Amino acid sequence: MIGRSGGARDRILRRVGAATAARERRPHPGALAGDGPDDVVAAFADRFRRSGGEVVAAGMGWRGGELLRWLRDQVPEVTAVATAPDLPGELRPDLPEVAAREAGAGVSVGWGGVAETGSLILPSTGGRAVQLLPPLHIVWISADRIFARLEHALLSLAADLPAAAGLHSGPSKSADIGRTVVTGVHGPGRCVAFVRGALRSPAATE
């Protein structure tokens, strides 16, 4: 499909070109200096929790069974889940599968995490409805996929960009009514990161 421009494209680019030609060009300052945290798993957990997210420190050996136990314990009312198409079978909890809009919980796998911002990176190939519609969103992520800085994570993601990616850094919130914070406005009201391999890092355990 060809975009509409009716000559506007060339007109705009010409005007932009004339404006920039008349001005001294400014250099790019290069990368923003900074190191990011040392213990990335602990820093991620801390940031994510401070934004209202929850972190479960999981062992490398954790599978769907452990997740099912957690669900039974924490949210017994959840009887059916929606899972991401790219979720490995072994990480599925053994519960009936339903459409995302009806599920009590969505389960996906994170492409990676970011320590400095406390973010989970979720590619669109994981199914966006699962990431957004259920009131509870559970994200498996492995500890060695957590980047210290957002810049490193995005550069790595850029090597093979999906059509879209979401950065989730805690549950959905709004303070638009009377300046009171409410959660779960549109997206998930609870967001839980199951960090596999985090059990080795004592600071990340609850």
Partner 1 sequence: MRIEIGDYGARARQVIREDPQVREAVTGATLAFDAKRRRSYDEIDSDAWRRWAEAVKSHALTHLDRYLAEAEARLIENGAVVHWAADAGEARQIVMELAAENGVRRVVKGKSMVTEEIDLNPALEGAGIEIFETDLGEYILQLLDEPPSHILGPAIHRTLEQVRELFAERLETPPDGNPDTLARAARKVLRDAFLSAEMGITGGNFLVAETGTVALIENEGNIRLTTSLPRIHVAIVGIEKLLPRMSDLAGFLQLTSRAATGQPIGCFVSLIQGPAARPGDDGPKEVHVVLVDNGRTDVLAHEHAWEALRCVRCGACLNVCPVYRQTGGHAYGWVYSGPIGSVLDPGLLGLREAMPLPFASSLCGACFDACPVRIPIPELLLEWRREAQEEGLTPWRERAALTTLAQMATRPGLYRLAGRIGSRLGGSALGRALPMLGDWARERALPKPSERSFRELWREGIE
- Minimum CB distance to partner 1 smaller for 67 or for 132: 132
Q: Mask: binding to partner 1, 116-155, rule CB under 8 A, as x and -? A: xxxx----xxxxxx-xx----------------xxx-xxx
Q: How far is the CB of 29 from partner 1 (least distance, A)?
A: 4
Nearer to partner 1, 35 or 73 (CB): 35
- Can you tell me which of 78, 187, 190, 196 binds partner 1, judged by CB under 8 A? 187
Among 35, 61, 163, 206, binds partner 1 (CB under 8 A): 163
The one-letter amino acid at 165? A
Pairwise CA distance, residues 33 & 47, whole Å: 20
Binders of partner 1 among 11-40, rule CB under 8 A?
11-13, 15-20, 22-29, 31-33
DSSP type of residue 27:
P
Q: Give residues 64-123 in contact with partner 1 (rule: CB under 8 A).
A: 84-86, 101, 116-119
For 153, residues 6+ apart whose C-beta sits below 8 A from its C-beta are 112, 113, 114, 119, 121, 147
Minimum distance of partner 1 from residue 47's CB (angstroms)? 6
Contacts of 122 (CB under 8 A, 6+ apart): 108, 110, 111, 131, 139, 165, 166, 167, 168
- Measured between alpha carbons, how far is 32 from 42 in angstroms, rounded to an integer? 23
CA distances to 3, 6, 22, 24, 55 from 13, in Å: 15, 13, 14, 18, 48
Binder among 170, 195, 197, 199 for partner 1 (CB under 8 A): 170
Number of residues that bind partner 1 (CB under 8 A): 80
Give the binding range for partner 1 (CB under 8 A) out of 62-70, 71-79, 176-184, 193-201: 176-184
Count of beta carbons in the 10 Å neighbourhood of residue 206: 8
